[in-house]
Amino acid sequence: MNAKNFIAGGIVGGIVNFLLGWVFYAKLFPNIYPESAQTKLEFIALGCFTFGFLISYIFNKWAGISNPMTGLYAGAVIGLFNGLSMNFYIFSNKALNVQNMITDIVINIVIGAIIGLAVAFVNGKMK
């Protein structure tokens, strides 16, 4: 694994994730996860970068993905499974809202796809 590609892809993936999260969750769909006095932006940022580095690791270590269209598809699949997993956890201890669950899963697919595209683009440029 090329450490430089992994780090650069992870950083770009984290930034893209953070910005898209702001667009989707703060601007377009603010009712899915309403902001509270307990919202900690630093933990949201850490989560975004963790997911960016996860995609970068998968693309660099296991899959060798450097084509943006392949990254788009792979990121969408990872986003689908991440969205399903997170929503199963979220709704395990609160009332089920099917509309919010489906919306959030679709958002995760779109965000995952764009992160995958960005990470693959970085990988392709750094070859």
Q: Would you state the pLDDT for residue 19? A: 98
SS3 content of the chain, % helix, strand, coil (to 5): 80, 0, 20
Question: What are the backbone dihedrals phi and psi of residue 93, each rounded to the nearest 5 degrees, phi first?
Answer: -135, 25
What pTM was computed for the model?
0.94
Q: Would you state the pLDDT for residue 108? A: 98
How confident is the model over 55-106, as pLDDT tens digits?
999 999 999 999 999 999 999 999 999 999 999 999 999 899 999 999 999 9
pLDDT of 116 over the 90 cut: yes
How confident is the model over 10-52, as pLDDT tens digits?
999 999 999 999 999 999 999 998 777 788 999 999 999 999 9
Q: Would you state the pLDDT for residue 36? A: 77
The amino acid sitting at 76 is: A
Residue 76's CB: how many other CB atoms inside 10 A? 19
Q: Would you state the pLDDT for residue 51? A: 98
d(C-alpha 40, C-alpha 45), whole Å: 9
The residue written with tokens 């660099």 in the block is 60
Residue 16 parent element (H or E) = helix 3-21
Q: Would you state the pLDDT for residue 30? A: 92
